[in-house]
């Protein structure tokens, strides 16, 4: 799977640097061309000669150790992936803030290849708000994080912070650089909250930012899918999305989604579609009355076209719904799963801290029509996206095995 793939292996100055030797060996054994880049502090723990012997080319430790005037550009542009293992708190902070004061950080800023960072540090450092905020920033930019494991740490105590096992790291590299478990699959994602006009100026809407839907679109692209994004927001479109359709109201979203869903292998309705809209929107701005009277706005229900999608779902299609709840999470989600004939539903309690609308994080329960339930604790929405698409892949594989 890694045959001929070019990987820059960045090694930072932490005790876990010795494990990077095994990572390097495993990558080369898997067929990858590995270019080791060691920071100055990494040399306090491991030797450049070791990585030169095991890597595919001599280890680099400085911007100035060869006649090449732009080594970071050569490394960054030529890489299929940049892997940093271990990634220290110092490296994560510099990378998150765009600092480039050595060869490794220059290379990270000079690449458009996928970047995989593998943090390793003491538990207290790992749990620091500053470290977690830097990681959150990097995740929003598409950087993938391999979380540290719990276990015995330098100093003898036990906790979270030890570098992920080299075999785990290499397996994730193979997953990132492999053909992708959604290669050739058409995925339609709906994102954002609809806006229902009261008059030409005012609307009824909700607090959905579209962040979760965009994260799912980005993750689907990374896994090799051909992605169509129907959205109500003007957020930056994830690179690689094949088609973007801008909509505003629930009716406009229905008009965009329904015909495209017929030709889609997977439909993910992450959008927050309004349940109600003004029955008779004014064709002019409603003015404040001099006598202080307040206009009465009569609401009507919007059409729940997700029900239609469930009824006319093509054979083999995976239909994913979302349920934003404030109480009876599982009960309400399971009811929607059954009534709308979904293959799986993603439910979250939007009243819980750090979850749901407008946040960069979320915590969800993924319920499959088969009865399988997967709880995903509070994490970044890109990680939630990965869990949702993992469930989609499980459903597709289960169907394929049944059909054969």
DSSP 94-145: HHHTT---SHHHHHHHT--S-EEEEE---HHHHT-HHHHHHHHHHHHTT-EE
Cβ partners under 8 Å of residue 90, min gap 6:
12, 13
Measure the CA–CA gap between 9 and 33, rounded to whole angstroms.
Answer: 10
Strands of 262-337 (E only): list them: 266-269, 276-278, 299-301, 318-325
Domain residue limits, the chain: 6-177, 186-403
Encode the chain (404 residues) as per-residue pLDDT tens digits: 688 899 999 999 999 999 999 999 999 999 999 999 999 999 999 999 999 999 999 999 999 888 788 999 999 999 999 999 999 999 999 999 999 999 999 999 999 999 999 999 999 999 999 999 999 999 989 899 999 988 888 877 888 889 999 988 998 898 788 778 898 999 999 999 999 999 999 999 999 999 999 999 988 987 889 999 999 999 988 877 999 999 999 999 999 999 999 999 999 999 999 999 999 999 999 999 888 899 999 999 999 999 999 999 999 999 999 999 999 999 999 999 999 999 999 999 998 888 878 888 899 999 999 999 999 999 888 889 989 999 999 999 999 887 76
| 3-class secondary-structure state, position 344 | strand
CATH 3.90.550.10 fits 186-403, yes or no: no
Measure the CA–CA gap between 175 and 81, rounded to whole angstroms.
Answer: 12
Measure the CA–CA gap between 3 and 178, rounded to whole angstroms.
Answer: 10
Cβ partners under 8 Å of residue 18, min gap 6:
45, 46
In 3D space, the residue among 114, 243, 236, 242 whose CA is nearest the CA of residue 177 turns out to be 114
In 3D space, the residue among 245, 248, 267 whose CA is nearest the CA of residue 256 turns out to be 245
Same CATH fold, 186-403 and 6-177?
yes
Structure tokens at 255: 């008009």
**Beta strands at 243-246 and 226-231: parallel, antiparallel or unpaired:** parallel
DSSP bridge pairs for 300: 277
**What pLDDT was estimated at residue 155?**
76
For 11, phi then psi, to 5°, come to: -125, 125
Active site residues: 206
In 3D space, the residue among 297, 300, 255, 257 whose CA is nearest the CA of residue 276 turns out to be 300
CATH of domain 6-177: 3.40.50.1950
Structure tokens at 83: 């892997």
Measure the CA–CA gap between 51 and 53, rounded to whole angstroms.
Answer: 5
């Amino acid at each position: 799977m890694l045959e001929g793939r070019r990987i820059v292996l960045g090694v930072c100055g932490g005790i876990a640097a010795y494990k990077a030797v095994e990572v390097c060996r495993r990558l080369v054994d898997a067929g990858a061309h590995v270019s080791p880049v060691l920071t100055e502090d990494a040399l306090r723990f491991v030797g450049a000669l070791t990585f030169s012997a095991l890597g595919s080319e001599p280890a680099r430790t400085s911007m100035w150790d060869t006649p090449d005037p732009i080594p970071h550009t050569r490394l960054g542009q030529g890489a299929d992936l940049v892997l940093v293992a271990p990634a220290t708190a110092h490296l994560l902070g510099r990378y998150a803030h765009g600092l480039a004061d050595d060869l490794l950080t220059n290379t990270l800023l000079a690449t458009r290849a996928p970047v995989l960072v593998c943090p390793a540090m003491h538990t207290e450092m790992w749990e620091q708000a500053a470290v977690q905020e830097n990681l959150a920033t990097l995740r929003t930019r598409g950087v993938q994080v391999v979380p540290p494991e719990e276990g015995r740490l330098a100093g003898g105590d036990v906790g979270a912070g030890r570098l992920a096992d080299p075999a785990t790291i290499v397996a994730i590299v193979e997953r990132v650089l492999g053909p992708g478990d959604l290669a050739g699959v058409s995925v339609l994602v709906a994102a954002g909250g609809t806006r229902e006009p009261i008059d030409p100026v005012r609307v009824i809407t909700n607090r959905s930012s579209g962040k979760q839907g965009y994260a799912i679109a980005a993750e689907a692209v990374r896994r090799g899918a051909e992605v169509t994004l129907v959205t109500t927001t003007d957020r930056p479109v994830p690179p690689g999305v094949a088609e973007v359709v801008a909509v505003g109201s629930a009716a406009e979203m229905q008009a965009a989604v329904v015909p495209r869903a017929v030709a889609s292998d997977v439909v993910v309705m992450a959008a927050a579609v309004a349940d109600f809209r003004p029955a008779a929107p004014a064709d002019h701005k409603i003015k404040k009355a001099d006598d202080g009277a307040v206009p009465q706005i009569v609401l009507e229900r919007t059409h729940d076209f997700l029900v239609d999608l469930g009824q006319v779902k093509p054979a083999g299609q995976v239909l994913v719904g979302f349920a934003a709840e404030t109480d009876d999470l599982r009960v309400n989600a399971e009811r929607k799963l059954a009534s709308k004939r979904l293959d799986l539903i993603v439910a979250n309690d939007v009243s819980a801290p750090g979850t749901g609308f407008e946040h960069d994080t979320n915590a969800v329960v993924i319920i499959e029509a088969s009865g399988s339930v997967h709880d995903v604790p509070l994490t970044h929405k890109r990680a939630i996206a990965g869990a949702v698409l993992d469930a989609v892949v499980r459903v597709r594989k289960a169907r394929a095995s049944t059909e054969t």
